[in-house]
Amino acid sequence: MAKKDDEMTLEERQIRLQERQQEFQERQIALQEAALRVQQKQVKQTAPKSLQMAPKISPFNLRGQKDYPNPRLKCPVDAPWRLDPNVEAEAPSLDREELELFNLLEPGARTLELTDGTTIACNVVGTRNDNTGELERLALLGRKDGDTGKYMALFTNENKQTFPSLKIILRQLLEQQGCEVEVVPMKREARIIADGAAIEQAGGENPYPVSVGA
């Protein structure tokens, strides 16, 4: 049976007081830890999206720039609009398929079949670094004038409505280049991503995952 306070010696009272103080401190610490956990959870839930890392999934990159970034355009290209690697990295106008196709393209004389069935000359003109031999610029131009040696414009007011899509143009040029194109089309990639998501939902391992936010 526990002693009453008036039955305890001075030493026993001091011990009991110390025990009560320790219990009080332990309860205070437990309450503080619980409050901290709640606060951390609330901060995480209410954190602005700008402070979180987005997956950056878009029509230009179906898997998301965060974990599966698009390749960098190997050099500036005039197609005939100007395509700059730095601009494409920040504000893309080319999707993943188009970037991969452009990065396979090399200089050379080619032809293009237009949607009306006619064929026109297309010259892929490149500028190389004298020291490294690396391409510093590519341009898609028309036929070469035999008298002046200058290339004519590829896109004109007369033919601009009959050009196929950029992907078809690049695949035509690469086929004539003799390049084995193994670049997955964006439409096929979309189907692969959907199939992978279905596998994951069924409890399997997704063979083609996409970026997730953090």
Q: Would you tell me how many other CB atoms lie within 10 Å of the CB of residue 174? A: 20
- Coil, strand or helix: which one is 165? coil
pLDDT at position 51 is: 47
Total structural domains within the chain: 1
Residue 139 lies in a domain: yes
Domain that holds residue 186: 77-194
pLDDT at position 160 is: 84
Residue 65 lies in a domain: no
pLDDT at position 98 is: 97
pTM: 0.73
Residue 144 lies in a domain: yes
Give the N- to C-terminal CA distance of the chain in Å, as an integer.
Answer: 58
Residue 7 lies in a domain: no
Residue 20 lies in a domain: no
pLDDT at position 213 is: 80
What residues of the chain score a pLDDT lower than 70? 1-8, 10-52, 214
